[in-house]
């Protein structure tokens, strides 16, 4: 049972790529090839001898090709138990089929092409799934193949085993076959629901593996890859360090999402899914320094993401080899599209530091799903930073000079948990998240927290007398933009911001009290810009 000689194969494929080479290998090992319609024509055209399917079924292909392989003879040749049913098969003149190579009518392809309903129906395969499932069920004796990507491995098996296939390989292909038909039927089912006005969803994941634990040590956890995604967060290339934890993966996602749309060199520093530090500059080292300075205390044990190849000059900022351990910066994960060799060698000084290569820009945009107690929420990604830049106050920021900074602030705010406030500034040629308040039930508290963090971060820049710091901080905050993820329901946020020196505010607008808020801005000489776009993140 371990090795099964392939003496007889049935080839019936919609995707013809690689089928000629596979058929030649089979023939070289003395295998009889049974084939159908277009597949048989291609093989015969290149001189590969085949047996027409009708000589096995005893019936012609009929009804425009709807009936080809479905027959007692074909399904029996695939399904009968080679040990217990041998005598009965001989009595019924059933000759075993040892291999099925079949991929299905291209329902997905014609669906994406916008085919009409009748065309969709004609591209629902019936005989193919029947053969595939029969062969997969009887994998102890039958090999089933549904993807041209596996042909080379099958050819290698045949060459290494003198025309036979191993049990382990058949078992692996069996699982692939059942997943193939499951995904195929799921796509048809959801589309037929849609044809009847029903919105349904079927998701499929694979390659799951257990994590050490979940968010907390008493919770078990696992990580899965979504099927059919060309690129997935699952594909993180871990170059060095301890295995990733559940929380690491969540924070990595938050870190790379923060830099996803940055056109300049960007760095995000994430703690508990929130970017506590975020900067864009022309120089990677400068972006890291500014992002770290956004919250040096919270940066301890953080996840740090970059959108450019990581250099030694940048990572030397962490001082991992400093003779004083207190000078070494402790971080959990560093992630970049690629890591230069000398930078990798340096980072490996920290034996537990996870060093990861991953390019966020390779990901296709997908829905944002949230599974909640037997229910599922689905939404589009938050990828519209603003609908407008409408100045609604008497004081007017110069948008031609400041719009880049505003857009940077909007990229920051959409990745900070609501209610949230981000305060951003331009420092020379760089943009920096100077302070933020995240996850507060009360927006006024979020504003207070963001301002407090700004004042804290401005302290190292101040070199004057202590009694002059308030004046210095207010002047510095006067050059910033305060970005709110949602509208201000009251004017109290404006009053607090103005009292601390902030003179420029960006918010979506849309409150029934917008006029009151705008009036307060005008009374306090504060500029306000409405974007028309909210950025809640729960």
pLDDT band at 364 (very low <50, low <70, confident <90, very high): confident
Q: Are residues 470 and 506 in the same domain?
A: yes
In this model, does residue 403 exceed pLDDT 90? yes
Q: pLDDT at position 64, please?
A: 84
Q: Are 174 and 139 in contact (CB under 8 A)?
A: yes
Q: What pTM, to 2 d.p., does this model score?
A: 0.87
Residues 336 and 391 in one domain: no
Contacts of 496 (CB under 8 A, 6+ apart): 444, 447, 448, 451
Q: Are 443 and 517 in contact (CB under 8 A)?
A: no
Residue 201 lies in a domain: no
Q: Do 416 and 454 sit in the same domain of this protein? A: yes
Residue burial 92-114, b: 16+ Cβ < 10 Å; e: rest? eebebbbbbbbbbbebbeeeeee
CB contact set of 330 (below 8 Å; sequence gap of 6+): 300, 301
Kindly report the CATH number assigned to the domain that includes residue 185. Answer: 3.40.50.1380
166 lies in the same domain as 266: no
Residue 368 included in any domain: no
Has residue 505 been placed in a domain? yes
Point out the least confidently predicted range of 49-63, 413-427, 437-451: 49-63
Half-sphere exposure (Cβ direction) of 113: Cα atoms closer than 13 Å: 11
430 occurs within a structural domain = yes
Q: Do 27 and 135 share a domain, yes or no? A: yes
User: Using one digit for the tens of pLDDT, what is the confidence trace for 305-361?
Assistant: 999 999 999 999 999 988 898 899 999 999 999 999 999 999 998 989 999 999 988
Tens-digit pLDDT profile for residues 169-211: 999 999 999 999 999 999 999 999 999 999 999 999 999 999 9
Domain for residue 371, yes or no? no
Residue 437: CATH number of its domain: 3.40.140.20
CB 433 within 8 A of CB 406: no
Domain that holds residue 446: 383-530
Same-domain pairing of 255 and 171: no
How would residue 67 be classed by pLDDT, with cut points 50, 70 and 90?
confident
The catalytic residue among 29, 272, 329, 427 is 272
Residue 370 lies in a domain: no
**8 A C-beta contact, residue 487 and residue 534:** yes
- Decide: residue 19, CB within 10 A, 0-12 exposed, 13-18 middle, 19+ buried: buried
Instruction: Say what the pLDDT of residue 409 is.
Output: 96
Question: How many domains is the chain partitioned into structurally?
Answer: 3
The catalytic residue among 7, 137, 242, 474 is 137
Q: Residue 407: helix, strand or coil by DSSP?
A: helix
User: Rounded to whole angstroms, how far apart are CA atoms 446 and 482?
Assistant: 11
In a domain, 220, yes or no: no
What average pLDDT does the segment 512-527 reach?
96
Residue 68 pLDDT > 90:
no
Last residue of a domain, one of 148, 167, 195: 195
| pLDDT tens by residue, 424-470 | 999 999 999 999 999 999 999 999 999 999 999 999 999 999 999 99
Residue 427 CB contacts under 8 Å (≥ 6 apart), including other chains: 290
Q: Residue 1 pLDDT more than 80?
A: no
Same domain, 393 and 351: no
Q: Are residues 262 and 291 in the same domain?
A: yes
Residues 37, 182, single domain; the answer is yes
End-of-domain residue from the set 133, 167, 195: 195
Q: Measure the CA–CA gap between 491 and 102, rounded to whole angstroms.
A: 67
**3-state SS record for 185-239:** HHHHHHHHHHHCCCCCCCCCEEEEEEECCCCCCCCCEEEEEECCCCCCHHHCEEE
Q: Domain for residue 405, yes or no?
A: yes
538 labelled catalytic: no
Same domain, yes or no: 390 and 517: yes
Residue 365 has pLDDT above 80, yes or no: yes
Q: Looking at the structure, do residues 388 and 358 belong to the same domain, yes or no?
A: no
**Catalytic residue flag (residue 322):** no
Q: How far apart are CA 413 and CA 510, in angstroms?
A: 18
Q: In this structure, are residues 409 and 386 in contact, taking their beta carbons and an 8 Å threshold?
A: no
H/E element, 246: helix 246-259
Give the span between the Cα atoms of 104 and 334, in whole angstroms: 43
For residues 65 and 175, membership in a common domain is answered with yes
Q: Where are the beta strands (DSSP E) in 438-487?
A: 481-484
Q: To 5 degrees, how large is the angle CA 303–CA 294–CA 278?
A: 55
pLDDT band at 377 (very low <50, low <70, confident <90, very high): very high
Q: Output the average pLDDT for the chain.
A: 94
């Amino acid at each position: 049972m371990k090795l099964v000689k392939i003496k007889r194969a049935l080839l019936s494929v919609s995707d013809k790529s690689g089928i000629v080479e596979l058929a030649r290998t089979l023939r070289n090992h003395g295998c009889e090839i049974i084939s159908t319609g277009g597949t048989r024509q291609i093989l015969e055209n290149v001189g590969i001898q085949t047996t027409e399917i009708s000589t096995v079924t005893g019936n012609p292909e009929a009804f425009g090709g709807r009936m080809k392989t479905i027959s007692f003879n074909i399904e029996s040749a695939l399904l009968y138990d080679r040990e217990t049913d041998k005598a009965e098969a001989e009595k019924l003149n059933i000759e075993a089929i040892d291999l099925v190579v079949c991929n299905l009518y291209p329902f997905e392809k014609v669906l994406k092409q916008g085919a009409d309903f009748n065309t969709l129906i004609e591209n629902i395969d019936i005989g193919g799934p029947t053969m595939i499932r029969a062969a997969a069920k009887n994998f102890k004796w039958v090999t089933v193949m549904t993807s041209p990507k596996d042909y080379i491995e099958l050819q290698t098996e045949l060459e290494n085993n003198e025309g036979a296939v191993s049990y382990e390989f058949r078992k692996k292909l069996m699982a692939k076959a059942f997943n193939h038909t499951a995904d195929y039927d799921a796509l048809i089912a959801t589309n037929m629901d849609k044809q009847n006005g029903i919105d349904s969803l079927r998701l499929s994941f694979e390659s799951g593996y257990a994590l050490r634990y979940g968010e907390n040590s008493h919770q078990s956890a696992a990580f899965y890859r979504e099927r059919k995604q060309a690129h997935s967060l699952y594909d993180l290339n871990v170059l060095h360090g301890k295995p990733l934890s559940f929380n690491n993966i969540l924070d990595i996602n938050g870190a790379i999402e923060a830099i996803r749309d940055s056109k300049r060199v960007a760095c995000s520093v994430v703690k508990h899914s929130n970017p506590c530090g975020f900067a864009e500059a022309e120089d990677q080292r400068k972006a890291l320094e500014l992002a770290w300075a956004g919250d040096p205390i919270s940066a301890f044990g953080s996840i740090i993401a970059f959108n450019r190849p990581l250099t030694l000059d940048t990572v030397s900022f962490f001082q991992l080899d400093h003779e004083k351990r207190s000078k070494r910066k402790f971080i959990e994960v560093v992630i970049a599209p690629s890591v230069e060799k000398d930078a990798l060698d340096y980072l490996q000084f920290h034996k537990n530091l996870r060093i990861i290569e991953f390019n966020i820009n390779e990901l296709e945009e997908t829905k944002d799903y949230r599974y909640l107690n037997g229910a599922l929420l689905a939404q589009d990604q938050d990828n519209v930073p603003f609908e407008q830049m409408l100045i609604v106050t008497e004081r007017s920021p110069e948008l031609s000079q400041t719009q880049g900074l505003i857009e940077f602030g909007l990229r920051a705010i959409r990745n900070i948990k609501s209610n949230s406030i981000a305060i951003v500034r331009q420092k020379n040629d760089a943009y920096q998240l100077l302070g933020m308040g995240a996850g507060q039930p009360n927006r006024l508290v979020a504003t207070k927290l963001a301002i407090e963090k700004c004042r804290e971060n401005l302290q190292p820049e101040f070199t004057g007398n202590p009694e002059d710091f308030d004046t210095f901080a207010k002047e510095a905050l006067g050059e910033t933009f305060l970005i709110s993820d949602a509208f201000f329901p009251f004017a109290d946020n404006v009053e607090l911001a103005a009292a601390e020196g902030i003179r420029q505010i960006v918010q979506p607008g849309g409150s029934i009290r917008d006029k009151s808020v705008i009036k307060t801005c005008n009374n306090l000489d504060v500029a306000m810009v409405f974007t028309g776009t909210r950025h809640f993140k729960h």
